[in-house]
Amino acid sequence: MHHRPAVEVRDLFYAYPDGTPALRGVDLVVEEGESVGIVGPNGAGKSTLLLHLNGILSGRGEVKIFGLPVARENLREIRRRVGLVFQDPDDQLFSPTVFDDVAFGPLNMGLSREEVAEAVDRALREVGLKGLERKSAFHLSFGQKKRAAIATVLSMNPDLLVLDEPSSNLDPRARRELSELLQGMRITKIVVTHDLPFVFENCERVLVMDQGRVVADGDVFSILSDEELLKAHGLELPYGFYPLHRERSGRNTEGNRKPDGASPQWGKGDKA
Ligand SMILES: Nc1ncnc2c1ncn2[C@@H]1O[C@H](COP(=O)(O)OP(=O)(O)OP(=O)(O)O)[C@@H](O)[C@H]1O
Ligand SMILES: [Mg+2]
């Protein structure tokens, strides 16, 4: 089969209408099936980059998704295939009920009533919100909103899942369940987060962004164990968290799960 990356971004520049330069020459290729973390300090341009992946923003440069240029004539197809979860769930939820929000995408894709109900049911189960379908998103807790926002894209069965800060405000159990859910999904994933252990659990590759550019790109072990690099870009591992220094070959990327023994170490790190 003809090989096409899931995402190709070439020399992308974007400035907001007020003149703020947010992207200053971003290059990025994500292969199909990869799970890539994007980290970097506040204001680095991470969210701005993600908003280019389904054409919400459009800068100067080239963005292709599964070989399709992100342009008006392809937006319908691209938005069907790319599930983008915004940083702020209030940007994602606009319907009277949780059910309607999660059903919106599948309805738009022209699925039958039963198929829509099935897709909503599955997505709400996956994020642990079953039973809340009749509630207004307005009355959910922040963490529940975050989960509902994730469900609105899971219900569409995307080929590329793009998540902006998926674990923020989740309680530890919901965070772990989300992590397990993502690890079990074999589709291409891009995860922007400040939660470095979450990156460690979910991504085999990490990009560091700063000041509108990709400043580092490598496997998760080498990036997260590069103290100088992390420090230079405002990144810090949580207290007591030490990623193991491991050979890339020691890692099993099947379904993005790590083999036994390649889990991150909490504590003094003396086992590493
Ligand atoms: N709507 C906007 N109008 C003007 N400037 C903006 C707008 N949104 C973001 N910016 C600016 O663009 C730059 C990149 O912002 P962006 O939201 O992409 O950063 P980020 O890496 O996602 O940061 P964070 O970690 O805080 O989410 C910042 O300088 C920010 O102030
Ligand atoms: Mg952001």
Domain boundaries, the chain: 1-66+159-272, 89-158
pLDDT band for position 239 (cuts 50, 70, 90): confident
16 alpha carbon – ligand 1 mean position (Å): 9
Rounded CA-CA distance 168/196 in Å is 12
Residue 175 has pLDDT above 50, yes or no: yes
Look-up of token digits 């470095």: 196
Q: What gap in Å lies between CA 170 and CA 221, rounded to an integer?
A: 25
54 CA to centre of ligand 1 in angstroms: 17
pLDDT for 253 equals 41
Residue 242: what pLDDT? 79
Helical segments of 7-66, H only: 46-50
Measured from the Cβ of residue 120, the count of other Cβ atoms closer than 10 Å reads 26
pLDDT on residue 258: 45
Token pair for 104: 């919106």
Q: Quick check: 161 and 185 in contact, CB under 8 A? A: yes
Q: Could you name the CATH architecture of 1-66+159-272?
A: 3-Layer(aba) Sandwich (3.40)
Please report which ligand is nearest the Cα atom of 164: 2
* More confident: 272 or 56: 56
- Cα 116 to ligand 1 centroid, rounded to whole Å: 35
Predicted pLDDT at 4: 83
Question: What average pLDDT does this structure show over 87-105?
Answer: 95
Does the CB atom of residue 42 touch ligand 1 within 6 A? yes
Residue 52: CB within 6 Å of ligand 1?
A: no
Q: Which residues contact 43 (CB under 8 A, 6 or more apart)?
A: none
Is the CB–ligand 1 distance for residue 249 below 6 Å? Answer: no
- Give the whole-angstrom CA distance, residue 13 versus residue 60: 5
Percent of the chain's residues with pLDDT above 70: 88
Cβ of 211 below 6 Å from ligand 1: no
Mean pLDDT along residues 137-143: 91
- As beta bridge partners, residue 241 has 266
Q: Is the CB of 21 under 6 A from ligand 1?
A: no
Q: What is the pLDDT of residue 11?
A: 98
Establish whether residue 19 lines the binding site of ligand 1, counting it when its CB lies within 6 angstroms of any ligand atom. no
- Write down the mean pLDDT value for the chain: 89
Residue of 14, 23, 46, 91 with the most ligand 1 atoms within 8 Å of its CB, for mutation: 46
Is a pLDDT exceeding 80 seen at residue 269? no
